[in-house]
């Protein structure tokens, strides 16, 4: 029974990803999603509390592997903090500024004022990601690599620096050249500034 329930949940997520991808969040119909998943509309609500939760889980399913790889870049230890942060930064920007994830982020921003989708994505996405970065920085402090500091704030500084060269293009929907070369250059500059502020002086 449990196996069948997991299969049904996966079918709903797959159908939801298709519908959200085709018509967006606002126009997506729970009736259409349930029809594609092969079941009644009420069935969806036995797995997901709301359309917002379904959207988040469906989008997470399509990007989970990439985001996990992003945070795995910090699992190599604190021997070389600068290099670990550069690996993280490259994955972070490559995922965040991929066309697919940019589209998802714009939907979330547009819907944030009309529903709890923004809060849901912040709590289940941004905050969880920040916590993993902060844990790495905590380990770096214990290893004597960076100065004792509030790592929650340091995480925000790091992420803001990493995005600094691209965020205006995203917000104003202006085409920009975002590839491995431009990402690597931006990450190098961002990490240099971060380390200048936080690295323990030799």
Query: What b/e readout covers 129-147, taking b as 16+ CB neighbours within 10 angstroms?
Result: bbebbbebbbbbbeeebbe
- Answer yes or no: CATH 1.10.357.10 is held by domain 51-198: yes
The domain locations on the chain are: 1-48, 51-198
- The pair of three-digit structure tokens given for residue 145, joined into one six-digit string: 């690599």
- Answer yes or no: CATH 1.10.150.240 is held by domain 1-48: no
Instruction: Please report, in tens digits, the pLDDT of each residue of the chain (202 residues total).
Output: 455 588 999 999 999 999 999 998 999 999 999 999 998 889 999 999 999 999 999 999 989 899 999 999 998 778 999 999 999 999 999 999 999 999 999 999 999 999 999 999 999 999 999 999 999 999 999 999 999 999 999 999 999 999 999 999 999 999 999 999 999 999 999 999 999 999 998 6
Sign of CA dihedral 190, 98, 131, 86: negative
Is the pTM value of this prediction over 0.85? Answer: yes
Q: Which residues contact 9 (CB under 8 A, 6 or more apart)?
A: 47
C-alpha dihedral, 60 to 62 to 66 to 72, nearest 10°: 50
DSSP annotation of 20 reads H
Distances from the Cα of 31 to the Cα of 10, 78, 137, angstroms: 17, 50, 45
């Amino acid at each position: 029974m449990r196996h069948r329930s997991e299969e049904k949940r996966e079918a709903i997520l797959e159908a939801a990803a298709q519908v959200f991808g085709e018509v967006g969040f606002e126009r997506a119909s729970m009736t259409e999603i349930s029809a594609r998943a092969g079941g009644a509309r009420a069935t969806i609500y036995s797995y997901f509390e709301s359309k917002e939760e379904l959207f988040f889980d469906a989008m997470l399913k399509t990007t989970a592997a990439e985001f996990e790889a992003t945070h795995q870049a910090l699992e190599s230890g604190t021997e070389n903090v600068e290099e670990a942060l550069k690996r993280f930064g490259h994955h972070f920007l490559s995922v965040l500024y991929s066309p697919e994830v940019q589209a998802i982020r714009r939907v979330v921003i547009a819907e944030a004022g009309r529903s709890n989708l923004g809060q849901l994505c912040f709590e289940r996405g941004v905050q969880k990601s920040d916590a993993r970065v902060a844990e790495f920085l905590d380990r770096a402090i214990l290893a004597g690599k960076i100065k004792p500091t509030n790592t929650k704030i340091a995480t925000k500084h790091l992420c803001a620096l990493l995005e600094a060269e691209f965020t205006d293009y995203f917000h104003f929907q202006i085409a920009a050249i975002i590839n491995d070369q431009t990402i690597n250059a931006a990450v190098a500059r961002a990490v240099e500034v971060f380390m200048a502020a936080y690295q323990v002086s030799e």
